[in-house]
Structure 1
Amino acid sequence: MAFEGEESFADAPEQPIPQASVPPSRKLIVVLENASLEAARLHPYRYDTKMQLLNCDEHQSILKRLGRDIADARPDIVHQCLLTLLDSPLNKAGHLEVFIHTAKGVVIRINPECRIPRTIKRFSGLMVQLLERGSIVSDQEGHVKLLEIVPPPVTQYLPTNAKRFALSWNAPKVRLYRYFKSIPEEGPLVIAVGAMAKGPDTFADSYVDTKIGISEFSLSASVACAKVCCALEDLWDVM
């Protein structure tokens, strides 16, 4: 499917991602935790009203009326993270898998070949379709699921032999390249990243082994994702 004025995000890359050729020990699974992706019919008594993705820029008055913190409606954080992750050489070389775990408990699996819309407006429209339909399918032959809501919990999609980390500003700081290099290549890496505007870093306490900090400064989730990808691209010789 395509959005007006933009090439279809469902098109496959020019060079197919060589997933099968990548050893499991050189796979990164990113879980975007506590993501703000919530669709709502803003006028519930009017059945002709379309569903919209709640965001703090357009729906401040509605969120206040509902007693909601406007910081809880930040789908732009997930959008920025997905652009960073899926555009990375790490993903294009077949080393990356991405899951979204929303604040409402919805688990979304992202096909590495998915091309995310570049604007937040089109991204919001795509997410509403996904939340309503359960999946977004490629128009190309084979009808590949590019985005798919899958049954929770997210932990069932994480390999049992994976080393699991969460990024936390309060955790001991590490230099990512050196840190990843010190880890034996015995299984995939799982990195949980908080995709929310604020809140405690307890979002992945139930399944991660270690929390690590990656900067002395407070970073956006997108920048944190970029630093992880760049470190592993250097380590795994991906250009």
Structure 2
Amino acid sequence: MLSLILAESSIETIPNEMKDHPSVISHERKLGKDYSEILLDNSWHFAAMKGIKNEIKRGRPDLVHFSILEATTIPLYYENKIKIFIHTINDKVISIGENVHIPKSYHRFEGLFEKLFLEKKITVNDNELLSIKDQSFSELVNQINPSKVVGLSTTGKTSSFEKISTTLDDDSCVVIGGFQKGHFSDSIKNKFTDLFSVGETSLEAHVVIARMLYEYEKTIFM
């Protein structure tokens, strides 16, 4: 089946290096949780994030929320013709199982993924819905072993969603950045078979996912 990877995604719990910052301590008290159980979010932790590595790619779990909502509420997912992975900025991989209903409310999504980071898996009636493990992007691609790895970025070769969709088969892997600014790291790009751009204007990840998967659906359902 088609694989979708949201790469270098902006979702993680608050790192140890930020635990003593006043904004983090204040947020801990507000939520009644330890910093290590709270998602890093620049809406709350902007001041604490100043100067951290890959700052512009971090602290936007809402982007991940939008993106996986798009990918899990379409016929392609309902009919089990796509496998979805979230590769995080600090080399963890979240696998999304079959028939997972991602909460539409961000507050519930946040709670679910904080629980996932803490417990490493979410199961219902012995069905594993979500799991997380330490894994690099390269290791994930090797595990999937796709026929091709297609990245989408403004730095790629100009094409269109429709044209790209015709090059994909059910062993292909599509990679979209799960961050708000910047470009893929070299370690990510080195695994691409092809790198395409769908326009000079940078689109948010959830928009790219919606349009790309719709065009791919047309090639297999219509």
TM-score calculated relative to the size of structure 1: 0.77
- In 1, the alpha carbon distance for the partners of 2:6 and 2:159 equals 20
User: 1:31 aligned to 2:31?
Assistant: no
**Superposed displacement of residue 156, structure 1:** 3.2
Q: Structure 1 vs Structure 2: percent identity of aligned residues? A: 24
Question: Where does structure 1 lack aligned partners over 5 or more consecutive residues?
Answer: 1-26
Q: Structure 2 matches for 1:200-239, cutoff 5 A?
A: 200-202=183-185, 204-237=188-221
CA contact (8 A) 1:60 1:70 kept: no
CA RMSD of aligned residues (A): 2.6
Aligned residues: 205
AA partner of residue 190 (structure 1): C
AA partner of residue 213 (structure 1): S
Cα 1:175–1:200, aligned 2, differ >3 Å: closer, same or farther? Answer: closer
CA contact (8 A) 2:56 2:180 kept: no
- 2:84 is matched with which residue? 98
- 1:129 is matched with which residue? 115
Question: Where does structure 2 lack aligned partners over 5 or more consecutive residues?
Answer: none
Q: Structure 2 matches for 1:164-179, cutoff 5 A?
A: 164-179=149-164
**Superposed displacement of residue 177, structure 1:** 2.5
AA partner of residue 64 (structure 2): V
Q: Which has the higher helix share?
A: 2
TM-score calculated relative to the size of structure 2: 0.82
User: 1:191 aligned to 2:165?
Assistant: no
- In 1, the alpha carbon distance for the partners of 2:105 and 2:173 equals 28
User: 1:180 aligned to 2:154?
Assistant: no
AA partner of residue 120 (structure 2): G
Describe the SS at the equivalent of 1:39.
coil
AA partner of residue 111 (structure 1): G
- In 1, the alpha carbon distance for the partners of 2:78 and 2:130 equals 17
CA contact (8 A) 2:60 2:179 kept: yes
Spell out structure 1 runs of 4+ moving beyond 6 A: 65-68
- In 2, the alpha carbon distance for the partners of 1:52 and 1:150 equals 18
Describe the SS at the equivalent of 1:38.
coil
Residues 83-127 of structure 1 deviation map (CA, whole Å, 9 limit, x = unaligned): 000001111122111111101111111113111111222211111
CA contact (8 A) 1:166 1:204 kept: no
